[in-house]
């Protein structure tokens, strides 16, 4: 298969970027999107042109490293998959394909298609954990968790932290990412003690980092590779509102 | 051959060794912990759990990873589960049985004391992870669920859907982020370790490259912990992430750390077969599929009929035929080798005849498609996405692929290498899996090392290291930094005609052919002849573009491939030297009449630990004899 690529090139964060045309020739239909880019890069190196920089690691859809906007959609066409799990057979021979980095204020571009998503780590750092020191845990079966809660918690915990939710959101909101963590921990009995504090500090950190607010567009849910439900955002709002009120009352 | 390595295994009965050692290990007072700085390289299960736990204890920790976030380390991709000897199922499990299964599974090439400790600690890990909020699968009672996994005859595997590694890593990552918020740990993402720095023969620092700015700098510490994973990517194609590499451990080897059993590599039987030369990685299909899938190939060579048109009587369900009691659940090394055998006989299926069928038709008939969909729906979808085939309608095609490396840097019972101060955890060390790792044991070992072993044993080294931290201004640091800079300059100045990837792919094929599932003296000697030539060509004909002072992925890859090109030789040398078959190391010269691995306990019941002697010189082999006081060495039988 052959494709016309329009790829965003940008030497560094502070430089101006632009789309550059490349031809991808004789690409096997079984190749993944990233393998197609590998082939293009091999060709560029052979012509002594600097290859296109893009992030990827596990290439099996779980590490959350790959992060491309393909034809305007984070992770490209198709539901519930990362860029690395997109295969060229999904495109038509001769297609023109636009490739860009995730565009979010809080994810500054490092080079070409690579962005800095450490803001997501900072949100977790603000309280996305249960404070239990190694060695202090009680016997595991001493804490019963209903299967329903455990399964729902797992659905939220499946988030791979790629940031596509924020890239798809017109407000660049990281609400789905944050809601997934707050729900994962808040649904479990182990997570109750810190539940209020967690919601308040994670949401405030999110705001501080420059992510926008949620205005119920559901674009996040549509592109999420882990199929995290936007319903978890309601859970975040409930935890946050309750905690903020409690905090205000206590402050008086 | 040279000296015998001192493993420092505590005296006393097996079941008392660890508690006795804990009681006798040296403590570091809280006031002194604050004065020690620990460098942790790697943020997977072992690295993240170690960094977080040492931070909790009051040490100053710096943690480094090449990924953009510690949460992306390749532990995240482990699917199946984590073993523990909880015996929640009342099915006869015990610490001893988990210990015995792991020793036997490793084909009697691991240390009794380490493996017993691992089995003991396994239960604490489940407690810890459950308390952290890892959403393990539950029964309707609300209690933890278990499954049987990887050929075990008891149900001792805990799991979180097919994403157990992800959930355990996120647990460790969250503990790590908590320590970062408390300023106990400082995190350095997108930072790659290029070399180890020794001061007075102790590991006192590392040299790293900031992968964004290209800056090369030094970090000094009181101890160095490597948790940098395995070297499976020496084969180019493997189930490892693209970035996984041998650089940190190989650089430590070149600074004097012994590399143990590099030829012990694990080939996982159920991966999606290779489809073309453009391919960048192989994808694992969880071993749990073998619980309900039957493995077969046509009886007749070159039988090209579609699978459903081949009648049952003309199919060879070779695992069921050869191993009636374990059948399709035979251990990984045996299942992989059997697949290779039938493909070598010309009975393989799919492109190039490199595949075997994993057929769910019978299970679908017996249990209904709905049940199979509930159990494996996500895996069937993944298979469909990659191959375009529907496994509900036609059998999956699978083939073995490199998955895990049991070999690694040699460590003693304290997880310290022969270089004082250099500790090695998780897949990066050699210690617990012998010649073959059992399913659901890697997660167990990574977390055992990080949460529950190193926090106790590190004190034994640090107790008399007070005030010995070196400054990065010392000449030792400056010298290593300078060497690292020169190497980068050298890589960027080759400007040859071939891409780094083409070298990596050629090396991978070479070791896969000669040091993969079946190895022979002849093949290994051939590989040992060809690897230096390829390395030579690399340093004259590789094309690494760009500069050293910004983000340059070609340069990163080139540095890693340069190390693989040296390491591959060590791996083949060890495979040639180990003139027996055991576990994943199958020498065709040493097989039973039935084609099973034939160990030679008289001559090879030991760990081979290799010492670097300088460029172009043969490394020296040291041995650590393996002494079995509690189990009887037997030929592994899964018939």
**Does A26 contact B at CB distance below 8 Å?**
no
Cα–Cα distance for residue pair B352/B274, rounded to 1 Å: 9
Interface of A with B in 192-251 (CB under 8 A): none
Mean model confidence pLDDT for chain B: 95
Residue B596 placed within a domain: no
**CATH 1.10.10.10, applies to A118-251:** no
B501: CB partners within 8 A, 6+ apart: A38, A42, B557
Counted across chains A and B, CB pairs separated by less than 8 A come out at 218
Residues of B assigned a catalytic role: 332
Kindly determine whether residue B68 and residue A117, on different chains, have CB atoms separated by under 8 Å. yes
Task: Read off the pLDDT of residues A72-82 as tens digits, 9 standing for 90 and up.
Answer: 999 999 999 99
CA distance A49 to chain B (A): 8
> What is the bridge-based pairing of β-strands A73-74 and A96-101?
unpaired
> What is the bridge-based pairing of β-strands B408-409 and B259-260?
antiparallel
CA distance B599 to chain A (A): 35
Domain that holds residue B295: 268-403
Interface of A with B in 108-137 (CB under 8 A): 110-111, 114, 116-118, 120-121, 124-126, 128-137
Token pair listed for B516: 């993969």
Please compute the mean of the pLDDT values over residues A227-236 and round it to a whole number: 97
- Judged against a pLDDT cut of 60, whether residue B1 lies above it is answered with no
DSSP per residue, B329-374:
G--HHHHHHHHHHHHHTT---SGGG--EEEE-HHHHHHH-HHHHHH
Residue B2 confidence (pLDDT) = 58
Collapsing DSSP to helix, strand or coil, A161 comes out as: coil
Cα–Cα distance for residue pair B220/B207, rounded to 1 Å: 9
Interface of A with B in 182-201 (CB under 8 A): 184-185, 188, 190-191
Q: Distance of CA B301 to CAs B298, B317, B318, B344, B346, Å?
A: 7, 15, 14, 10, 5
Please compute the mean of the pLDDT values over residues A27-38 and round it to a whole number: 96
| CB-closest option in A57, A132, A154 to B72 | A57
B473: CB partners within 8 A, 6+ apart: none
* Least reliable range by pLDDT among A13-17, A171-175, B2-6, B229-233: B2-6
How many angstroms separate the first and last alpha carbons of chain B? 37
* Least reliable range by pLDDT among B230-234, B260-264, B489-493, B634-638: B634-638
- Judged against a pLDDT cut of 60, whether residue B283 lies above it is answered with yes
Kindly determine whether residue B130 and residue A56, on different chains, have CB atoms separated by under 8 Å. no
**Does A20 contact B at CB distance below 8 Å?**
no
Task: Read off the pLDDT of residues B521-538 as tens digits, 9 standing for 90 and up.
Answer: 999 999 999 999 999 999
Domain boundaries in chain A?
3-111, 118-251
For helices B247-254 and B553-577, angle between their N-to-C axes, nearest 10 degrees:
60
Residue B376 confidence (pLDDT) = 87
| CB-closest option in A131, A134, A157 to B455 | A134
Residue B371 placed within a domain: yes
Cα–Cα distance for residue pair A185/A192, rounded to 1 Å: 8
Kindly determine whether residue B139 and residue A147, on different chains, have CB atoms separated by under 8 Å. yes
For helices B500-515 and B521-541, angle between their N-to-C axes, nearest 10 degrees:
170
Residue B291 confidence (pLDDT) = 87
Token pair listed for B335: 């299942």
Chain B positions touching A117 (Cβ under 8 A) are 68-69
Residue B378 confidence (pLDDT) = 81
Q: Which residue of B has its CA nearest to A125?
A: B177
Residue B521 placed within a domain: no
Residue B162 placed within a domain: no
Cα–Cα distance for residue pair B239/B222, rounded to 1 Å: 35
Token pair listed for A123: 């949100």
Residue B283, Cα to own-chain centre: how many angstroms?
A: 16
Residue B128 placed within a domain: no
Cα–Cα distance for residue pair A41/A51, rounded to 1 Å: 5
| CB-closest option in A64, A147, A157 to B140 | A147
- Judged against a pLDDT cut of 80, whether residue B365 lies above it is answered with yes
Residue B469 confidence (pLDDT) = 87
CA distance A234 to chain B (A): 21
Reported confidence tier of residue B152, pLDDT bands at 50, 70, 90 = confident
Kindly determine whether residue B76 and residue A63, on different chains, have CB atoms separated by under 8 Å. yes
Please compute the mean of the pLDDT values over residues A215-237 and round it to a whole number: 97
A35: CB partners within 8 A, 6+ apart: B278, B279, B280
Kindly determine whether residue B127 and residue A55, on different chains, have CB atoms separated by under 8 Å. no
- Judged against a pLDDT cut of 80, whether residue A99 lies above it is answered with yes
What is the number of other CB atoms lying within 10 angstroms of the CB of residue B161?
A: 18
Neighbour-count burial of B510, counting CB atoms closer than 10 A to its CB (0-12 exposed, 13-18 middle, 19+ buried): buried
Reported confidence tier of residue A250, pLDDT bands at 50, 70, 90 = confident
Residue A64 gets the label, from left (phi > 0), alpha (psi -120 to 50) or beta, of left
Kindly determine whether residue A45 and residue B543, on different chains, have CB atoms separated by under 8 Å. yes
B479: CB partners within 8 A, 6+ apart: none
Task: Read off the pLDDT of residues B580-618 as tens digits, 9 standing for 90 and up.
Answer: 999 999 999 999 888 888 999 999 999 999 999 999 899
Task: Read off the pLDDT of residues B156-209 as tens digits, 9 standing for 90 and up.
Answer: 999 998 899 999 999 999 999 999 999 999 999 999 999 999 999 999 999 999
Residue B426 confidence (pLDDT) = 98
Edge-to-edge order in the sheet of strand A68-70: A18-24, A3-9, A96-101, A68-70, A73-74
Kindly determine whether residue B545 and residue A49, on different chains, have CB atoms separated by under 8 Å. yes
Residue B336 placed within a domain: yes
Chain A positions touching B239 (Cβ under 8 A) are 60
Chain A positions touching B181 (Cβ under 8 A) are 125-126
Q: Which residue of B has its CA nearest to A54?
A: B553
CA distance A53 to chain B (A): 7
Cα–Cα distance for residue pair B411/B419, rounded to 1 Å: 9
Kindly determine whether residue B67 and residue A191, on different chains, have CB atoms separated by under 8 Å. no
Residue A168 confidence (pLDDT) = 98
Domain A3-111, CATH number (from 3.10.20.30, 3.40.50.300, 3.30.300.130, 3.20.20.70): 3.10.20.30
Residue B389 placed within a domain: yes
Mean model confidence pLDDT for chain A: 96
Please compute the mean of the pLDDT values over residues B567-576 and round it to a whole number: 98
CA distance A108 to chain B (A): 13
Q: ipTM of the assembly?
A: 0.98
- Judged against a pLDDT cut of 80, whether residue B17 lies above it is answered with yes
CA distance A211 to chain B (A): 19
**Which percentage of chain B shows pLDDT scores above 90?**
89
Kindly determine whether residue B545 and residue A138, on different chains, have CB atoms separated by under 8 Å. no
Kindly determine whether residue B553 and residue A53, on different chains, have CB atoms separated by under 8 Å. yes
Kindly determine whether residue B70 and residue A139, on different chains, have CB atoms separated by under 8 Å. no
Residue A130 confidence (pLDDT) = 98
- Closest by CA position to B581, among listed B507, B518, B628, B524: B518
CB distance A146 to A138 below 8 Å? no
The CATH code of the domain that includes B292 is 3.90.700.10
Cα–Cα distance for residue pair B293/A233, rounded to 1 Å: 39
DSSP per residue, B180-236:
HHTTSEEEE-SEEEEEEEEETTEEEEEEEEETTT--EEEEE-SEEEE-----GGGGS
Token pair listed for B500: 């780094």
CA distance A68 to chain B (A): 15
CB distance B447 to B168 below 8 Å? yes
Chain A positions touching B53 (Cβ under 8 A) are 133-134
Kindly determine whether residue B126 and residue A140, on different chains, have CB atoms separated by under 8 Å. yes
- Judged against a pLDDT cut of 70, whether residue B305 lies above it is answered with yes
Kindly determine whether residue B385 and residue A85, on different chains, have CB atoms separated by under 8 Å. yes
Chain A positions touching B180 (Cβ under 8 A) are 125
Q: Based on the structure, what is the number of domains in chain B?
A: 1
Q: Which helix (H) or strand (E) holds B15?
A: helix B14-24
Chain B positions touching A110 (Cβ under 8 A) are 212, 551
Residue B120, Cα to own-chain centre: how many angstroms?
A: 21
**Does A76 contact B at CB distance below 8 Å?**
no
């Amino acid at each position: 298969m052959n494709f016309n690529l329009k790829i965003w090139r940008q030497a560094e964060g502070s430089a101006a970027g632009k789309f550059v045309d490349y031809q991808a020739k004789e690409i096997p239909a079984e190749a993944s999107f990233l393998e197609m880019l590998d082939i293009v890069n091999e060709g560029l190196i052979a012509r002594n042109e600097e290859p296109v920089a893009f992030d990827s690691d596990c290439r099996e859809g779980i590490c959350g490293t790959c992060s491309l906007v393909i034809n305007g959609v984070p992770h490209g066409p198709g539901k519930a998959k990362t860029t690395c799990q997109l295969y060229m057979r999904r495109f038509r021979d001769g297609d023109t394909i636009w490739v860009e980095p995730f565009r979010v204020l809080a994810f500054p571009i490092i080079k070409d298609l690579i962005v800095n998503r450490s803001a997501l780590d900072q949100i977790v750092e603000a309280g996305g954990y249960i404070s239990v020191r190694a060695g202090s845990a009680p016997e595991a079966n001493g804490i019963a968790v209903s299967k329903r809660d455990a399964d729902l918690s797992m659905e939220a915990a499946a988030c791979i932290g790629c940031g596509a939710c924020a890239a798809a959101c017109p407000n660049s909101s990281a609400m789905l990412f944050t809601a997934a963590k707050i729900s994962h921990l808040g649904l479990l009995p182990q997570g109750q003690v810190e539940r209020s504090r967690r919601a308040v500090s994670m949401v405030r950190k999110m705001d501080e980092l420059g992510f926008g607010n949620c205005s119920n567009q559901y674009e996040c849910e549509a592109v999420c590779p882990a199929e995290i439900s936007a319903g978890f955002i309601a859970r975040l709002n409930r935890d946050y509102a309750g905690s903020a009120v409690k905090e205000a009352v206590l402050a008086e | 051959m040279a000296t015998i390595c001192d493993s420092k295994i505590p005296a006393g009965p097996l079941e008392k060794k660890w508690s006795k050692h804990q009681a006798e290990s040296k403590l570091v007072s809280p006031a002194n912990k604050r004065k020690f700085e620990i460098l942790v390289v790697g943020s997977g299960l072992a690295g993240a759990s170690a960094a977080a736990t040492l931070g909790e204890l009051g040490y100053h920790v710096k943690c480094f990873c090449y990924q953009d976030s510690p949460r992306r380390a390749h532990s995240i991709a482990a699917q199946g589960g984590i073993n523990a000897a909880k015996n929640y199922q009342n099915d006869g499990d015990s610490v001893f049985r988990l210990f015995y299964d792991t020793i036997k599974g490793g084909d009697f090439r691991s240390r009794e004391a380490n493996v017993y400790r691992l089995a003991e600690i396994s239960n604490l890990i489940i407690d810890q992870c459950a308390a952290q909020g890892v959403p393990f699968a539950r029964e309707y009672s609300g209690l933890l669920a278990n499954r049987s996994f990887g050929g075990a005859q008891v149900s001792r595997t805990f799991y979180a859907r097919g994403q157990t590694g992800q959930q355990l890593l996120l647990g460790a990552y969250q503990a790590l982020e908590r320590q970062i918020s408390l300023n106990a740990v400082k995190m350095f993402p997108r930072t790659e370790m290029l070399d180890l720095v020794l001061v007075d023969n102790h590991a006192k620092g590392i040299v790293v490259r900031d992968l964004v700015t290209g800056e090369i700098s030094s970090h000094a510490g009181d101890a160095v912990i490597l948790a940098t994973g395995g070297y499976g990517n020496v084969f180019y194609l493997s189930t490892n992430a693209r970035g996984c590499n041998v650089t940190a451990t190989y650089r430590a080897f070149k600074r004097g750390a012994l590399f143990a059993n590099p030829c012990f590599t694990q080939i996982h039987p159920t991966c999606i077969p290779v489809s073309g030369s453009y391919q960048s990685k192989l994808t694992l299909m969880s071993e749990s599929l073998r619980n309900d899938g039957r493995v077969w190939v046509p009886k007749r060579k070159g039988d090209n009929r579609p699978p459903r048109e081949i009648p049952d009587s003309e199919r060879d369900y070779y695992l069921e035929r050869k191993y009636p009691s374990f059948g399709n659940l035979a251990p990984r090394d045996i299942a992989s080798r059997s697949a290779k055998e039938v493909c070598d006989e010309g009975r393989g299926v799919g492109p190039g005849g490199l595949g075997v069928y994993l057929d769910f038709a019978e299970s679908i008939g017996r249990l209904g498609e709905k049940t199979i969909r509930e159990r494996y729906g996500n895996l069937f979808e993944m298979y469909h996405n990659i191959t375009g085939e529907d496994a509900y309608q036609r059998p999956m095609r699978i083939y073995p692929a490199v998955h895990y490396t049991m070999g690694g840097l040699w460590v003693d019972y304290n997880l310290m290498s022969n270089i004082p101060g250099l500790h090695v955890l998780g897949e990066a060390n050699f210690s617990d899996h012998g010649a073959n790792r059992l399913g659901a044991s890697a997660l167990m070992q990574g977390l055992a090392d990080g949460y529950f072993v190193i926090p106790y044993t590190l004190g034994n080294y640090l107790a008399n290291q007070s005030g010995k931290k070196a400054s990065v201004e010392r000449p030792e640091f400056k010298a290593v930094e300078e060497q690292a800079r020169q190497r980068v300059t050298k890589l960027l100045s080759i400007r040859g005609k071939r891409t780094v990837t083409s070298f990596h792919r050629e090396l991978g094929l070479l070791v896969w052919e000669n040091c993969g599932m079946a190895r022979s003296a002849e093949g290994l000697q051939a590989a040992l002849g060809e690897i230096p030539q390829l390395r030579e060509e690399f340093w004259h004909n590789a094309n690494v573009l760009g500069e050293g002072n910004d983000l340059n992925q070609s340069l990163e890859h080139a540095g890693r491939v340069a190390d693989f090109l040296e390491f591959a030789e060590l791996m083949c040398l060890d495979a040639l030297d180990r003139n027996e078959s055991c576990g994943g190391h199958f020498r065709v010269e040493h097989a039973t009449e039935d084609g099973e691995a034939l160990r030679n306990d008289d001559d090879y019941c030991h760990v081979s630990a290799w010492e670097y002697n300088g460029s172009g010189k043969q490394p020296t082999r040291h041995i650590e004899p393996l002494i079995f006081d509690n189990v009887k060495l037997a030929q592994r039988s899964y018939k």
